[in-house]
């Protein structure tokens, strides 16, 4: 029986790339996104046809505990959990409403609690499992005009390290990836001029691709069991 990976935020960008990478490794998949059903279902059909795997898809607002519980029950046995879903807010902290703050925290950080608390018991029972949390370099250093996003990703990093310590005796690996600027739709809020200026600051001279991000997730899934509790940084030498 093939192992199954659950990926949140899977309809595009890093999540889609991770889905393609793990499908190439023979994993059955359970793909989740909040609202882009047509894209998600199209990806599901493509992966089943190309790789001969079983791929399920579901809409779920991962900031909603009840929706996550329903989704996880449908997913069943999960061997790899990739917490990728995230949203950003660019603007002054003083212009941000409490509702917007809670939306960022709910999607980016609370969701990890909701998914992990349901996936971990079955992993502990099997004495096997991998959890990969997608973070950001702003979780390491903080970014002006992105206080909520930075705070949420800093929380992701601490959550990852702490849970890794908790689960290491059960042979479950928990790691995170702090990505730099990856060429995805999340950067649509920036102008072409702003993106070009940003690329000039990156030693590699360019943004990373979603495919490269997906490849690193694939490698981390296959990494030695002794690698746990780490926040790997992939940013082209930027920070």
Q: Over the stretch 174-231, which tens digit does the pLDDT of each residue have? A: 999 999 999 998 777 778 888 889 899 999 999 999 999 999 999 999 999 999 999 9
Told to judge if 51 belongs to the known catalytic residues of this protein, a careful annotator would answer: no
Residue 19 resides in a domain: yes
Residue 194 resides in a domain: no
Residue 92 resides in a domain: yes
Identify the sign of the CA torsion 46, 49, 51, 55.
positive
Largest CA distance in the chain: 52
Find the CATH number of the domain harbouring 34.
3.40.50.720
Residue 195 resides in a domain: no
Residue 23 resides in a domain: yes
Residue 204 resides in a domain: no
- Helix, strand, coil fractions of the chain, as percent rounded to 5: 50, 20, 30
Residue 140 resides in a domain: yes
> Per DSSP, what are the bridge partners of residue 30?
6, 56
Residue 205 resides in a domain: no
Q: Give the count of domains, the chain.
A: 1
Q: Which residue range is the domain that position 29 belongs to?
A: 4-184+210-234
> Per DSSP, what are the bridge partners of residue 232?
177
Tell me the pTM: 0.96
pLDDT at 131: 99
Annotated catalytic residue: which of 27, 51, 89, 149?
Answer: 149
């Amino acid at each position: 029986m093939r192992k199954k990976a659950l990926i949140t935020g899977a309809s595009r960008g890093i999540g889609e790339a991770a889905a393609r990478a793990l499908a190439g490794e023979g994993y059955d998949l359970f793909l989740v996104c909040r609202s882009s059903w047509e894209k998600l279902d199209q990806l599901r059909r493509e992966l089943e046809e190309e790789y001969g795997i079983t791929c399920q898809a579901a809409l779920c607002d991962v900031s909603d505990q009840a929706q996550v519980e329903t989704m996880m029950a449908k997913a069943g046995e999960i061997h790899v959990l990739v917490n990728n879903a995230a949203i950003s807010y660019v603007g002054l902290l003083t212009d941000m409403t409490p509702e917007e703050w809670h939306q960022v925290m709910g999607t980016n950080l609370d969701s990890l609690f909701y998914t992990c608390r349901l996936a971990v018991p079955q992993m502990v029972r099997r004495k096997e499992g991998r959890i990969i949390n997608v973070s950001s370099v702003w979780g390491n250093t903080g970014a002006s005009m992105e206080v909520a996003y930075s705070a949420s990703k800093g929380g992701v990093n601490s959550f990852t390290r702490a849970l890794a310590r908790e689960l290491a005796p059960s042979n479950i690996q928990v790691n995170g990836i702090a990505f730099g600027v990856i060429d995805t739709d999340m950067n649509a809020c920036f102008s072409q001029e702003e993106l070009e200026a940003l690329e000039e600051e990156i030693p590699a001279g360019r943004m990373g691709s979603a495919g490269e991000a997906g490849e690193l997730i694939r490698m981390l899934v296959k990494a030695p069991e002794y690698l746990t509790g780490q926040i790997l940084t992939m940013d082209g030498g930027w920070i």
